[in-house]
Structure 1
Amino acid sequence: MERSLVLIKPDAVERNLIGSIIQVYEDSGLKVIDIRIEQITEEFAKLHYKEHEGKSFFESLIKYITRSPLVAMVLEGENAIEVIRHVNGATDPNKAEEGTIRRLFALNKSENSVHASDSIESAKREINIWFPNL
């Protein structure tokens, strides 16, 4: 069984989509192992998105992810990382497949409703940051 970090980002939380998004993951055979809602600090956001530091979109990403509460959760399942990335869909909702979270709920490429770890290594690092007791 694999685990992955998933964030339901501020744009989706602001629009009351938490339950709808979790339902898509659960319908895909994934299980919520831990979950919490919080508003993160700029410092915490920079730690999470450390690999993007120095990129042109970094500051706007930090501003966006810290603007209001988000949901952080750990999902578990067979090939969880691959399943989650497929269920999320392409970063650009206009390129995402029908039925994916981003096609259903994202506002645009920047406000794309969800984040998920992109590899086993990233999942371990991100889960350790957000849920160090798991």
Structure 2
Amino acid sequence: MTIERSLVLVKPDGFQRGLTGEVLRRVEAKGYALRALAILTPTRGMLEQHYAEHQGKPFYEALVEFMSSGPVTAAVIEGEDCVKGFRALAGATNPTDAAPGTIRGDLGRDWGTAVQQNIVHGSDSLESAAREIGIWFPQL
């Protein structure tokens, strides 16, 4: 058994639309446990650390601006293979391509904005999860 931890963010678009409860319901319905939970508006410094691999890319500034535009819900989830599992639950990055039954497929759409507003973020690897959890929940 491989119990993992992953960072899940309900991004400003999802928070503003009141989707935090639905996202967390789906996480728990999938069988993952919530280990930490916070509502905050991320600072530029946090986002620069979180998105360090994207610095210098054309979408970087718009992404940081979007992610700092309002509150997000940050959660640490735990469970068997939860990094891969949550990403499957979230669906394709582009909500238009996301399958029905996924968070993005059911709740997201293309809003025609400079940055994809796709409701959630989930860590993409165990290494990313450890790094991201350290940024959002340094006390863990």
Tell me the TM-score normalized by structure 2: 0.92
Conservation of the 8 A alpha-carbon contact between 2:10 and 2:119: yes
Paired residue for 2:133?
Answer: 127
Report the AA paired with residue 75 of structure 1: I
1:20-59 alignment, distance < 5 Å: 20-59=22-61
Unaligned runs of 5+ in 1: none
- What is the Cα deviation at residue 42 of structure 1? 1.5
Report the AA paired with residue 48 of structure 2: K
3-state secondary structure, aligned to 1:75: strand
1:21-100 alignment, distance < 5 Å: 21-100=23-102
Paired residue for 1:7?
Answer: 9
Tell me the TM-score normalized by structure 1: 0.96
- What is the Cα deviation at residue 34 of structure 1? 0.3
- What is the Cα deviation at residue 107 of structure 1? 3.2
3-state secondary structure, aligned to 2:101: coil
- Matched residues in 1 for 2:36 and 2:108: separation? 24
Unaligned runs of 5+ in 2: none
Kindly, what percent of the aligned residue pairs are identical? Answer: 43
- What is the Cα deviation at residue 46 of structure 1? 1.1
- What is the Cα deviation at residue 7 of structure 1? 0.4
- Matched residues in 2 for 1:106 and 1:54: separation? 27
Report the AA paired with residue 20 of structure 1: E
Paired residue for 1:112?
Answer: 118
Count of residues in Structure 1 that have an aligned counterpart in Structure 2: 134
Bigger shift: 64-73 or 107-116?
Answer: 107-116
Bigger shift: 100-109 or 55-64?
Answer: 100-109
Indicate the RMSD between aligned Cα atoms, in angstroms: 1.0
Aligned mate of 1:103, from 97, 100, 105: 105
- What is the Cα deviation at residue 106 of structure 1? 1.9
- What is the Cα deviation at residue 132 of structure 1? 1.6
